[in-house]
Amino acid sequence: MISPVTTILLLDDDPLLRRATALILSRQGGLVTPAATGDEAVVLTHEHLYDVAVFDVSPAGPSAADLLRRIRAGGLVPRRVIAVSNAPLPLAETEELTEVLLKPYPFESLLHAVFGAGGRPRTRSGVFARAGSPAGGLTGRAPRGAARAGRGRAG
């Protein structure tokens, strides 16, 4: 069930994606505050406590861990922090994150990460780089058929 109002800090440097994501989240009951830069996101945490932060991180910008460190220095840390990335994140950078989504991801995954946890910490998606991993990281994909486990069929 979606809470009546979930406050969301959305950081994405791409204006089109920021607007589209904000629209999708707001249509699900979220009160979205968009930010175009890490600096803007940090400043916004000085003004308000957010239920959820969604950080679109890239190699060119600050990491989610860096953003959290800066927020802790003077802002209010969101209850849940979700990172969205083009590439797997180093495991050390994910310790304080609630979820990591690897692009491209279905919007249903983001909606579940933001609204589906009911305020409790969620398990990680498995999209983390590991030292010595031959592919540079885990994909987070379950074996074929595993995604349907526990859903059961009628009949």
Chain position carrying tokens 């979220």: 30
| DSSP assigned state of 8 | E
The 8 Å CB, 24+ separation contacts for 68-71 are 68/96, 70/38, 70/42, 71/41, 71/42, 71/45
Is the model more confident about 11 or about 137? 11
Beta strands in 61-153 (DSSP E): 80-85, 89-90, 99-102, 128-129
**At 4, is the pLDDT very low, low, confident or very high (cuts 50, 70, 90)?**
low
Average pLDDT taken over every residue of the chain: 78
| Whether residue 85 has pLDDT greater than 80 | yes
Q: What is the pLDDT of residue 130?
A: 38
Q: Which domains does the chain have, with CATH numbers?
A: 6-120 (3.40.50.2300)
| Whether residue 68 has pLDDT greater than 90 | yes
Query: Region 58-74: what's the mean pLDDT?
Result: 90
Q: What is the pLDDT of residue 60?
A: 80
pLDDT for 87-137, tens place per residue? 998 888 898 999 999 999 998 999 999 998 443 333 344 443 334 333 333
Q: What is the pLDDT of residue 59?
A: 80
Is the model more confident about 122 or about 84? 84
Collapsing DSSP states into helix, strand and coil, what is residue 82? strand
**At 39, is the pLDDT very low, low, confident or very high (cuts 50, 70, 90)?**
very high
